[in-house]
Structure 1
């Protein structure tokens, strides 16, 4: 029996390596619906996903690190970045500005690394306008408005007025659910997490993202004459 030897087998040595382009995974939800929990679970379980670090003008909170949690900048510097078109998307939320710097985003996608965005519907629209083919938008809904309020109250970190403001904003955000390709109801965090994982798995297999697919199929069928496959 002849053993397979990758160092001497010419066919194996010349076979193309499969590659894929990374994706921009957007997870949006009203405050309290669970996007932060889902995002943390994804980052802990999947080393192919990296969190997009936004620039923000809001003050740094205890325990936050500049460059890891956010890029903390002044409003003047933020406005300058907007003028220089340095953001893929940006928005003002509760009086503070947030934006996604372009730096390293494109190179990460080209390397096949996925990027997780924790942004609202406004930022998602801007991303979609600039990079539609790369964006995978997922919206997480609470099981009910009453449950959403209960979750916000259980945090015991906001005043009643702040919770009321968050609820008003939540209703406005939920009204944009139809702008997303995927909508998941978070009535059980583990089930919601599993459904988001299934979305990621399917999106990674999209033909358009398989950048090594054409040469791979050409090698399978022995086609070395045509510059492009018919698939």
Structure 2
């Protein structure tokens, strides 16, 4: 599994704006891991693009076969990252991006080690997060309360991550996010141009 490509693990409470942020990464250099879920698709979502939408029975069978890198159950819905997604990214020689649940993210440190960076996206406050969830139009009053309650718990994990970005302004958040990614890609062991230069002088 080990190579010099970057693995970016992005997490944060539901509705904080992770998907909006990540869609700005170029797909020719970054592979976006597609998670499996047992929830039904929302309007506009496509199987294999936004999620792999599968039944609860199928998900449990995948757990039994040890096919997940990580998985979590949230409000009765399962979410998981299949190991095959990692293999697809590396086979294409792309940097891997995972947008996953907070608890699932915390389980991956020992697996990826220093090859991965962990970025937590936080809302400016819970009231703003609530407004974003309402605007999404996918929550009932009950699920909205559950998500806000869960967000309070998830925010306690923020200091565990390598970076914390408060998404109070999308343009500013994008600048901060890309600054982190660019900085990580400039590290000598990931910088292909630098390695080629060293090779040309027979340094390595």
- Fold shared per TM-score above 0.5: yes
1:79 and 2:53 equivalent? no
2:134 corresponds, among 153, 161, 171, to: 153
Q: How many residues align?
A: 202
Structure 1: distance between partners of 2:182 and 2:70: 25
> Which position in structure 2 is the counterpart of 1:178?
159
Deviations 1:80-123 (A, max 9, x none): 22222211111111211111111151352365311221112221
TM-score by length of 1: 0.77
* Alpha-carbon distance change, 179 to 149 in structure 1, aligned in 2, over 3 angstroms: same
Query: What is the aligned counterpart of 2:190 among 181, 184, 209?
Result: 209
What are structure 2's unaligned runs of at least 5 residues?
Answer: none
Q: Which of 80, 103, 107 is residue 84 of structure 2 equivalent to?
A: 103
* TM-score between the two structures when normalised by the length of structure 2: 0.86
CA radius of gyration, larger in? 1
Q: 1:48 to 1:172 in 2, by over 3 A?
A: same
**Equivalent residue number for residue 132 of structure 1:** 113
Aligned to 2:122: 141
For residue 26 of structure 1, what is the aligned residue in structure 2? 9
Gaps of 5+ in 1: 1-19, 224-228
For the pair 1:50 / 2:31, whether they are aligned, the reply is yes
Compute the displacement of 1:160 (Å): 2.4
Instruction: Give RMSD over aligned pairs.
Output: 2.4
